[in-house]
Chain A
Amino acid sequence: QKEVEQNSGPLSVPEGAIASLNCTYSDRGSQSFFWYRQYSGKSPELIMSIYSNGDKEDGRFTAQLNKASQYVSLLIRDSQPSDSATYLCAVNPGNAGNMLTFGGGTRLMVKP
């Protein structure tokens, strides 16, 4: 059973702070990793992808991957109330095509 685990939250941070979202996965052979943002009642929106160990930055978002620890994280700098959403970590095993396995999601609340 390939699993992706996230703390369900809610994670509450004040406006302007850094939000740190974490994800662990069980399949050591996983090769690609994605973060999606999902507002209530809406569909998932891709915000970051990462494939190799280290950090990847895109605007206020930084994804971090550590394959040895089977850990991927998302940092959101200067958090805004509009960032309040559920963040889904998705992992692709890489040996059977594009089959995303999602974590349960972390609900982020950014308070003004």
Chain B
Amino acid sequence: DTEVTQTPKHLVMGMTNKKSLKCEQHMGHRAMYWYKQKAKKPPELMFVYSYEKLSINESVPSRFSPECPNSSLLNLHLHALQPEDSALYLCASSQGPDSYNQAFFGQGTRLTVV
């Protein structure tokens, strides 16, 4: 079982809204990731959580705020986004944080900022 579940699948939000994206895995993986993918571009790493602690922040604007409440859950809180933040947001997980671990992606949340 390599399932990573993301909710919601689609989200439309205004620039003044606050919303959250959720990600869940029950594979016992100890590393979880947020990636952003714009249309016809490859995924770009945003955040890495390792053993529930933020280990990497790829210079992401503060309007994106990650949270890892426990080893199975990862949230991405959104506030005051811009239309250019519209993208597919992908959550991934891997067994551990080192580079040999395979990363498995969820189905993504397609976000539109209006």
Q: Is A98 an interface residue (CB 8 A)?
A: yes
Q: Are A44 and B90 in contact (CB under 8 A)?
A: yes
Q: Are A51 and B48 in contact (CB under 8 A)?
A: no
User: How does the 8 Å CB contact mask read for A85-112 relative to B, with 1 for contact and 0 for none?
Assistant: 0001000111111111111110000000
Given contact pairs A97-B97, A99-B45, A46 touches B103 in the complex (Cβ within 8 A): yes
Q: Is A25 an interface residue (CB 8 A)?
A: no
Q: Is B50 an interface residue (CB 8 A)?
A: yes
Q: Are B105 and A45 in contact (CB under 8 A)?
A: yes
The size of the chain B interface, using a CB distance under 8 A, is 28
Q: In the complex, which residues of chain A have a beta carbon less than 8 angstroms from the beta carbon of B90?
A: 43-44
Q: Are B105 and A99 in contact (CB under 8 A)?
A: no
Q: Are B56 and A102 in contact (CB under 8 A)?
A: no
Q: Are A104 and B45 in contact (CB under 8 A)?
A: no
The residues in A between 10 and 58 inclusive whose CB is less than 8 angstroms from any CB of B are: 31-32, 34, 36, 42-46, 49, 51
**Helix, strand, loop or mixed for chain A's interface?**
loop
Q: Interface residue tally of chain A, by bracket?
A: 20 to 34
Q: In the complex, which residues of chain B have a beta carbon less than 8 angstroms from the beta carbon of A32?
A: 99-100
Q: Are B43 and A98 in contact (CB under 8 A)?
A: no
Q: How far is the CA of A51 from the CA of B100 in the complex (A)?
A: 8
Across the two chains, which residue of chain B brings its CB closest to A96?
B56
Across the two chains, which residue of chain A brings its CB closest to B33?
A98
Given contact pairs A88-B42, A103-B42, A98 touches B105 in the complex (Cβ within 8 A): no
**Interface pairs (23), CB distance under 8 Å:** A32-B99, A34-B102, A34-B103, A42-B108, A43-B88, A44-B43, A46-B102, A88-B43, A92-B100, A95-B99, A97-B50, A97-B55, A97-B98, A98-B33, A98-B98, A98-B99, A98-B103, A99-B45, A99-B48, A99-B99, A100-B43, A102-B43, A104-B41
